[in-house]
Amino acid sequence: MFSISDIQTARAVGQLGSIRAAARQLHRTQPAVSQAIRRLEERIGFALFDRSGYRVTPTARGRDFLQQSEILLLSDAHLREYAGVLAKGQESTLALAVWPMFGEARLLPLLQALAARHPETSIELHYAESILGMDLLAAGRVSIAICPHARPGGHHQHLDVDTLAIGAMTFVCVIAPALLGERDPGAVPREQLARWNQIILRDSASGRSYSFGAERSGRHWAVNDQRLMAALIRDGLGWGLMPLAAVRDELASGALRELQLPEFGSRITTDIVAARVRGKPQGPVASALWALFDGA
């Protein structure tokens, strides 16, 4: 039976092409690295590396073996991480990222149920740290993020996540009558839109701006607070997409008008999901909250 340590040593040699470089990276002596490679080769029955040249290069069978061994090394890393989670027991603090536009009415009942089951755990809510929540999730600062479903080609498509659909939200493009004037809100040309400010939300954590259906051309005013965004639009300083629930009364009263965007329309509905990093071990409290989302 070969050891994980010997496989890790072989991987370092294969990646660096040098026993000396691998020894330096692993903080081991060159004889110890050479011995680990010979021991592994004896146990698998074939040579892993061609040592005849200036660089140490994997043989054909060695290359296949090292590629397949990545599965074992990844499983070992996950097992070690999960053992650490078990050793710590119940989390003392559970950190969550919550999209600012997600309503408290949906979140609070779940948190109340979680607090009743795990009163010893403190909850840390990053309510406005990241608009999409994925920044904190990718950085390992939160266990679960509540956010809009990632769009194809979005900023975090590289992040492998599990998601649970927990709701949907409809956005409507709105403009104040004072800014619209006598124009038909269903037929404003793109050139006119470019002359008005589009009010968009900026993520204070990453510095990026997000807006569904944003017009790439034209002027943008970026804010990091939804209430300020609504105030700017109401005062005629620009147009933008707002949650329908937040502006329903103003649309009914005529204080705001629906604005049709070219090739987009006036409304868009997006799924709201709970997201966690796939394969990352979760503590019992994070797992309990995930189960609550799954049953909601």
Closest by CA to 48, choosing from 76, 11, 3, is 11
> 265: domain CATH number?
3.40.190.290
Same structural domain, 254 and 280: no
Q: How many distinct structural domains can be found in the chain? A: 3
Q: Residue 155: what pLDDT?
A: 46
Q: What is the pLDDT of residue 130?
A: 44
- As a whole number of angstroms, the distance between CA 193 and CA 182 comes to 15
Q: Give the end of a domain, one of 88, 115, 131.
A: 88
Give me the domain span that covers residue 226. 169-271
Residues 178 and 258 in one domain: yes
DSSP 199: E
In a shared domain, residues 241 and 111:
no
Please give the Cα distance from 216 to 239 (Å, whole number): 14
What number of other Cβ atoms are within 10 A of residue 271's Cβ? 14
User: Quick one: pLDDT at residue 89?
Assistant: 66
Same domain, yes or no: 73 and 145: no
Same domain as 49, residue 34: yes
Together in a domain, 152 and 231: no
Residues 157 and 243 in one domain: no
Identify whether residues 27 and 101 lie together within a single domain. no
Residues 117 and 131: their CA atoms lie apart, in Å, by: 29
CATH code for the domain in which residue 108 is found: 3.40.190.10
Residue 85: what pLDDT?
A: 57
CATH number assigned to the domain comprising residue 66: 1.10.10.10
pLDDT tens sequence for the chain (296 residues)? 678 899 999 999 999 999 999 999 999 999 999 999 999 999 999 999 998 877 889 999 989 999 998 888 877 777 776 666 566 667 888 999 887 777 677 788 889 999 998 888 889 988 644 455 777 888 888 999 988 775 444 445 556 888 888 888 888 999 999 999 999 998 888 888 888 999 987 655 454 545 544 555 678 888 877 788 889 999 999 999 888 888 999 999 999 999 988 767 788 888 888 999 888 888 889 999 999 988 76
Judgement on whether residues 18 and 112 belong to the same structural domain of the protein: no
